[in-house]
Chains A and B, each alone.
Chain A
Amino acid sequence: MAEKVTVEVARALLEPYAHVLPERLAEEVVRKVVEAGLTVDEARKVVDRVVLEYMRSLVEPGEAVGMVAAQSIGEPSTQMTLRTFHFAGVRELNVTLGLPRLIEIVDARKTVATPIMEVYLEGEYARSREKALEVARELELTTIENVSRAITIDYVDYAIIIELDPEMLENRGVKPEDVVKALNRIKGKKGSVELDGLTVVFRTGLDDAVKLRRMYDRVRALRVRGVKGIKRAIVRYDEKLGEYKIITEGSNLVAALSIEGVDHRRTISNNIYEVAEVLGIEAARALIIREMKRVLDEQGLDVDIRHIMLVADAMTMTGRIRQVGRHGVAGEKPSVLARAAFEVTVKHLVDAAVRGEVDELKGVVENVIVGSRVVPLGTGMVKLMMLTEVGSGSASQTQK
């Protein structure tokens, strides 16, 4: 009886195919052959067969993968409900999902309709609701208006009188002194700030009613605490992870990551541009995939993730985020005819004529347009290679 294959032997059998098989598949083969108690000879046959089947399952050169991806994402998208859904578990927060969100991602919009952040917490902040609330207060933008019962203008003294609301102060974790401190930042040389119980008197030192009025608006919107751009921060208990996290309305990733208690390894925004700027192009690619997949999953549409990955790859190929449209992937095609066939035909043709562009007829679209019998796609991609000088080796191979 031949000896049974061990993990080490199975790994050794797969070693020559390290550059061929993906890691996960190789590990699975190892596990399965050991589990099944195969002999070394049998295991070798299994490995050979797996490699063969894997090679067969690969996409063939010349396959129109982009077209297949477009159809595979496009067709299910037509079945999407146009309704915007609520974010799972957060009733008070509306997040764009469904088709509008999908379009937003593919168009690479700079401003997202509903920017949100998922702020994860570390250590004790994740375990206690009180600690999590502290971080939430640190995040949520609190202006003077948010913590006052009334803000009035005294036109006689050119002063602004702020009556603070004790309940709101408590709620936002702000002390009257914080308000004074914020006002001190903007008061200028002539201004002065006085605190009397819960009333703050801000003598502006201005001498013009119009300027006073303008100052009044500025005071109302003055930041006392929190991060610019974050309208609301809601503490949630994540059942799956068993910890508290914060969902914010509005996003400011750089600022959020540097706040104490925030887990800088997991905290994420749904704005792809912001992520590209803060975490780099690879993180943006990962986010595109994650967000598109989430939209499709949420609608119960089963799209193979490879199609989505291809879209994300095309969008991030130049190191910058490009939209899949006129101003990006399709608009940067080298061929005039291909661009003209997509959108704004006349503009592209005229511009190309003015610049004296030459169409090399290397792509699919332009070849279809001019009616080539062989379009560079599938078997049409094959070119003949020949040696121009006999016996001089591969160095002198030329293409025709």
Chain B
Amino acid sequence: MSSRARKVNILEHELVPQHILLSEEEAKRILKRMGISKMQLPWMLASDPVAKALGAKPGDVVMILRKSPTAGVAVAFRYVVRG
């Protein structure tokens, strides 16, 4: 058996919940509903493998659909920061 390296898509991994890159308008609408600023969201580094896979840049907001044992699907957001 050869050990040739494969390209692996980490977004398919069961531990990685679905990440959706939001547009500027969508992000603004959601922040307005929550009444907070971007910086008050949990962060995500621009160097995060998922951020890289999505092509998210610092300043973007990512919506995360987590599979949750309590809520079924829990919606969370992360603000992409430099790093």
Tell me the A residues contacting B by CB distance below 8 Å: 22-25, 27, 134-135, 138, 257-261, 264-266, 268, 275, 277-283, 286-287, 305-306, 309, 313, 316-320
Tell me the bound Cα distance from A102 to B66 in angstroms: 23
A27 touches B16 (CB 8 A): no
Tell yes or no: B24 within 8 A of A by CB: no
Residue of B nearest to A284 (CB): B15
User: Can you name 6 A-B pairs with beta carbons within 8 Å?
Assistant: A22-B72, A258-B8, A264-B13, A278-B49, A282-B64, A319-B48
Contacting residue for A279 out of B5, B50, B74, CB 8 A: B50
B45-80 CB contact bits vs A (8 Å, 1 = yes)? 100111100000000000010101111111000100
B10-41 CB contact bits vs A (8 Å, 1 = yes)? 10111111010000000000000000000000
B12 touches A134 (CB 8 A): no
Q: How many residues of B contact A (CB 8 A)?
A: 37
Tell me the bound Cα distance from A280 to B5 in angstroms: 21
Tell me the bound Cα distance from A287 to B15 in angstroms: 7
Q: B69 to chain A: which residues have CB within 8 Å?
A: 305
Tell me the bound Cα distance from A260 to B6 in angstroms: 7
Q: A265 to chain B: which residues have CB within 8 Å?
A: 12-14
B11 to chain A, nearest CB (A): 9
Residue of A nearest to B33 (CB): A19
Residue of A nearest to B51 (CB): A280
Tell me the bound Cα distance from A306 to B15 in angstroms: 18
Contacting residue for A277 out of B42, B49, B74, CB 8 A: B49
B66 touches A282 (CB 8 A): yes
B12 touches A264 (CB 8 A): yes
Tell me the bound Cα distance from A135 to B2 in angstroms: 10
Tell me the B residues contacting A by CB distance below 8 Å: 1-10, 12-17, 19, 42-45, 48-51, 64, 66, 68-74, 78, 81, 83
Tell me the bound Cα distance from A286 to B13 in angstroms: 12
Tell me the bound Cα distance from A287 to B13 in angstroms: 12
B45 touches A319 (CB 8 A): yes
Q: A279 to chain B: which residues have CB within 8 Å?
A: 10, 13, 15-16, 49-50
A282 touches B50 (CB 8 A): yes
A359 to chain B, nearest CB (A): 21
Q: B5 to chain A: which residues have CB within 8 Å?
A: 258
Contacting residue for A320 out of B19, B45, B50, CB 8 A: B45
Tell me the bound Cα distance from A261 to B8 in angstroms: 12
Q: A316 to chain B: which residues have CB within 8 Å?
A: 42
Contacting residue for B78 out of A259, A305, A319, CB 8 A: A319
Residue of B nearest to A306 (CB): B70
Most buried by B among A27, A275, A281, A287: A281
Q: A282 to chain B: which residues have CB within 8 Å?
A: 15-17, 19, 44, 50, 64, 66, 78
Tell me the bound Cα distance from A166 to B10 in angstroms: 40
A305 touches B13 (CB 8 A): no
Q: B83 to chain A: which residues have CB within 8 Å?
A: 319-320
A23 touches B15 (CB 8 A): no
Assess A264 versus B70: contact at CB under 8 Å? Given A280-B48, A318-B43, A319-B48. no
A271 to chain B, nearest CB (A): 13
Tell me the bound Cα distance from A309 to B71 in angstroms: 12
Assess A24 versus B71: contact at CB under 8 Å? Given A260-B1, A260-B6, A265-B14. yes
Q: A318 to chain B: which residues have CB within 8 Å?
A: 42-43
A286 touches B17 (CB 8 A): yes
Q: A264 to chain B: which residues have CB within 8 Å?
A: 6, 8-10, 12-13
Tell me the bound Cα distance from A24 to B72 in angstroms: 5
Contacting residue for A27 out of B19, B48, B72, CB 8 A: B72
Tell me the bound Cα distance from A259 to B83 in angstroms: 29
Contacting residue for A281 out of B45, B68, B70, CB 8 A: B45
Residue of B nearest to A287 (CB): B15
